[in-house]
């Protein structure tokens, strides 16, 4: 016997950065729970591999090549999702880039700064604006689940551009959770701990980093993309309709140790 509250049949999710890592972890789970899923990414090869895997879980899944830092591409992609599925019930602005974290702050160029802000902040704004426009028009509620980061609430040396976007995502989420409540749209942010993905490949390949960080994670392992499936299903489901404005840490205990 399963709990009906987590059945996502008839709902549609947009997951940016859904072709790998945490976004693919979200996508696998919501697709398995019955949702129609549209994943977005810029890399055609990654898109092709991910959609083959997702369609084996739920044949209705689809993929769009979209650079979220382009307002035009986001608007076109959201229109294509609405055309295909007729609705949008959940939006996971998850696409992100890490940027340079090797240069001291005072040596960061404008390009270092803007290349991160364009994707991680402007991209999130474009995505959420287009998604909420549709959700408000539908009048049936919805789910906004933003992938933030521990850097939003902890000092991140040499990574101020990235951390600034992740802090801004929490601020954006809080404003949305209050403003969108009247439309029964929930908004929450997820703070993942250290997760084994393409983004962390460099750091996790560096033994000194591994030796220093693993002992600071009570669960004594890196997170895996599939550790994020359950929260995606929950936030998208009818079971979480009174849960909004929250910052949800999934980090193996890292932040409290």
To the nearest 10 degrees (0 to 180), the angle between helices 21-32 and 229-236 is 50
**Among 30, 37, 68, 152, contact with ligand NAP (rule: CB under 6 A):** 68
If the CB atoms of residues 17 and 229 are measured against ligand NAP, the closer one turns out to be 17
From 2-10, 129-137, 196-204, 231-239, give the range in contact with ligand NAP by CB under 6 A: 196-204
Residues 91, 16: Cα–Cα separation, whole Å? 8
Ranges within 201-240 binding ligand NAP (CB under 6 A): none
Burial-class residue 111 by CB neighbours within 10 Å (0-12, 13-18, 19+). Answer: exposed
Ranges within 8-27 binding ligand NAP (CB under 6 A): 16-17, 19-23
Catalytic residue among 69, 148, 149, 177, which?
149
CA distances from 247 to 31, 146, 244, 250 (A): 24, 9, 9, 10
Ranges within 75-134 binding ligand NAP (CB under 6 A): 94-97, 119, 123
From 2-10, 42-50, 106-114, 171-179, give the range in contact with ligand NAP by CB under 6 A: 42-50
User: What residues are labeled active site?
Assistant: 149, 162, 166
For ligand NAP, the binding residues (CB under 6 A) are: 16-17, 19-23, 40-43, 46, 66-69, 94-97, 119, 123, 147, 149, 192, 194-195, 197-200
């Amino acid at each position: 016997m399963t709990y009906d509250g987590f059945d996502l049949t008839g709902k549609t999710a947009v997951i940016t950065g859904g072709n790998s890592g945490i976004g693919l972890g979200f996508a696998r789970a919501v697709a398995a729970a019955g949702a129609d899923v549209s994943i977005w990414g810029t890399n055609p090869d990654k898109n092709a591999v991910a959609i083959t895997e997702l369609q084996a879980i739920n044949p209705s899944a689809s993929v769009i090549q979209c650079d979220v830092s382009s307002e035009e591409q986001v608007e076109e992609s959201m229109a294509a999702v609405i055309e295909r599925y007729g609705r949008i019930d959940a939006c996971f602005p998850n696409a992100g880039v890490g940027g340079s974290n090797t240069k001291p702050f005072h040596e960061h160029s404008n390009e270092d700064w803007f290349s991160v802000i364009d994707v991680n902040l402007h991209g999130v704004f474009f995505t959420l604006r287009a998604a909420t426009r549709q959700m408000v028009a539908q009048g049936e509620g919805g789910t906004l689940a933003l992938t933030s980061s521990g850097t939003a609430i902890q000092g991140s040396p040499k990574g101020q551009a990235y951390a600034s976007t992740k802090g801004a995502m929490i601020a954006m989420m809080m404003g949305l959770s209050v403003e969108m409540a009247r439309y029964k749209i929930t908004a929450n942010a997820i703070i993942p701990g250290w997760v084994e993905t393409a983004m962390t490949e460099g750091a996790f390949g560096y033994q000194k980093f591994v030796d220093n960080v693993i002992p600071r994670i009570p669960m004594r392992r890196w997170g895996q993309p599939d550790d994020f499936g359950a929260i995606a299903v929950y936030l998208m489901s009818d079971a979480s309709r009174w849960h909004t404005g929250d910052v949800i840490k999934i980090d193996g205990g890292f932040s409290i140790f």
